[in-house]
């Protein structure tokens, strides 16, 4: 069985990554797919702390939003009668994706890229660049 970890973030490129994995399932029947989304609640708390929201309220909103992102992408598989597992984690996206892939002994990571230029990714950091650098398994980027 080939284990695919599909990282999604709600972007159009993530939707294209879902379509890519969906096409893989038509060519290979023995795939186990996990759709993963990483929230960074600490980053969101830092961004929103000046708003009167309680920290717990911010965390709950971030988790709810993360689950909605997962459900949106999972529904595409369900509409095609394909079962997938899901995982929502909290922390640095690239690190969490790679750690989860290693822990779960995944064979392949698939994720959409945001299309940052090399300069932007150096300045802003790039989840896809970090995943590629840290991963021990093949990584496919979808743009």
Read off the CATH number of the domain in which 25 is found: 3.40.50.620
When pLDDT is cut at 50, 70 and 90, the band that residue 125 belongs to is low
Average of per-residue pLDDT across 95-107: 97
Average pLDDT over residues 125-135: 86
Return the bridge partners of 64, or none.
none
How many C-alpha atoms does 89 have within 13 Å on its Cβ side? 18
Q: At 105, is the pLDDT very low, low, confident or very high (cuts 50, 70, 90)?
A: very high
Summarised one tens digit per residue, pLDDT across range 10-61 is 999 999 999 999 999 988 888 999 999 999 988 888 877 666 568 888 889 9
What is the number of domains present in the chain?
1
Predicted structure pTM score: 0.89
Cα angle 121, 127, 128; round to 5: 85
Structural domain containing residue 86? 2-142
CA distance 43 to 111: 21
- The per-residue pLDDT for 116 is 46
Q: Which of 72-76, 87-91, 124-128 has the lowest mean pLDDT?
A: 124-128
């Amino acid at each position: 069985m080939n284990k695919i970890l599909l990282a999604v973030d709600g972007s159009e490129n993530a939707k294209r990554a879902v379509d890519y994995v969906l096409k893989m399932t038509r060519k290979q029947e023995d795939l186990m797919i996990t759709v993963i989304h990483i929230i960074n609640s600490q980053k969101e708390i830092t961004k929103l702390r000046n708003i009167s929201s309680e920290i717990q309220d911010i965390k709950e909103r971030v988790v709810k939003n993360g689950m909605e992102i997962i459900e949106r992408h999972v529904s595409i598989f369900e509409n095609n009668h394909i079962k997938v597992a899901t995982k929502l984690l909290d922390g640095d996206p690239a690190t969490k994706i790679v750690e989860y892939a290693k822990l779960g002994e995944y064979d392949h990571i698939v994720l959409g890229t945001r299309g940052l230029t090399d300069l932007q990714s150096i300045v802003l950091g790039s989840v896809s660049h970090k995943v590629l650098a840290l991963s021990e398994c093949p990584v496919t980027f979808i743009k």
